[in-house]
Amino acid sequence: EEHREKMRTFVDKLFEEFVTLTSAQPMDWEKVNILTSTIFQAAQQVPEHSHEMFADFLGKLRKSVIRDVHRGQPFKWPSISHFCFFRLLGHVFPVTDARHKVVTPATIHLAQCLTHSPLESGRDVLRALFVSNLFLQFSYKANRFVPEVFHSLFRLLPTEENPKTPLTLSSTKLNKKNLSISSIPFTLLYNHPENKKYLDSDHFKLNALAMCYRILIGFVGSLSDSVSFTALYAKVQQHLKFTKKFANGLSDKFKALRESLESKVEAVEERFRQSRFPLQYQKRKVETIQQYDPRFQEDFSLEKRYGLTPKEQEKKLKKKL
């Protein structure tokens, strides 16, 4: 018991250090990754205390957000420290558990962020993409569908019907030498003046589109057996058709990523088309389906006998034999 008490104190100190590290600017990612691994190993020794600690932190975060909403403020995106907290949570606890007392409230909160938080600036777009990527990590193994992710991504992807979105390029005549595709650094979430200029540029928008494609490709694998796949990815196909006009003028890496998404979606669509068959007229007589759910009998009486008596049941069995 003394050892377990020491482990509880140790986990608390590790978590405090994690919050301190993730709140610092600039963040030391190497230390954060080492601490994430250490917290995971220590949390397995005292699982109940770890559940309470994470649930308490998440509860305080939820209360602060709800209090601000009641005061008339918009729903807040998670801070950088909170992004790291949700990332840590996905490493420590099983994300495949549909009714986990920490993971389930966390996913609900992130889903509300995607639905209610503003999506106006480049930084908002980046936050939405990071939350969507977190959902991909959470739901890929669980094979779970998250409608809020698709709703958020569809708000970003320009189409013929909605050509003006936060990721609409300012010019279709682009110089592909200056617009190479690369990963988006997490440090862009910091509110620095030099970051704002890049977040408003076409270069960032192309990188954000590429990140959207990677997230959608990740969800193709988990949703390829879903009957609603065609309806979900119809909007994606509209966007791919819309971007076909200027995609040839972009870098080879972007074109390859776009073609990869298009080919994966078409492959699943083709599989569904082959297995689909039209409605057929049934000539056989309609058969009633036996109902197994019990019904309440209003005229039930204790004096009245229902069913067969033991002797009648015995006779019935003998006849069958």
Q: What is the pLDDT of residues 211-250, one digit of tens each?
A: 999 988 888 877 777 777 777 788 888 888 888 877 777 7
What does the pLDDT look like over 48-77, one tens digit per residue? 999 999 999 999 998 988 888 888 888 888
pLDDT-based confidence at residue 170 (cuts at 50, 70, 90): confident
Q: For residue 180, what pLDDT is reported?
A: 67
pLDDT-based confidence at residue 79 (cuts at 50, 70, 90): confident
Q: Average pLDDT of 109-117?
A: 88
Q: For residue 295, what pLDDT is reported?
A: 63
Residue 183 in this model has a pLDDT that exceeds 90: no
Distance CA 195, CA 29 (A): 19
Q: Whole-structure pTM over 0.85, yes or no? A: no
Lowest mean pLDDT among 23-37, 88-102, 245-259, 294-308: 294-308
Q: Average pLDDT of 185-203?
A: 80
Residue 173 in this model has a pLDDT that exceeds 60: no
Q: For residue 24, what pLDDT is reported?
A: 85
Residue 139 in this model has a pLDDT that exceeds 80: no
Q: For residue 293, what pLDDT is reported?
A: 63
pLDDT-based confidence at residue 138 (cuts at 50, 70, 90): confident
pLDDT-based confidence at residue 206 (cuts at 50, 70, 90): confident
Summary mean pLDDT of the chain: 83
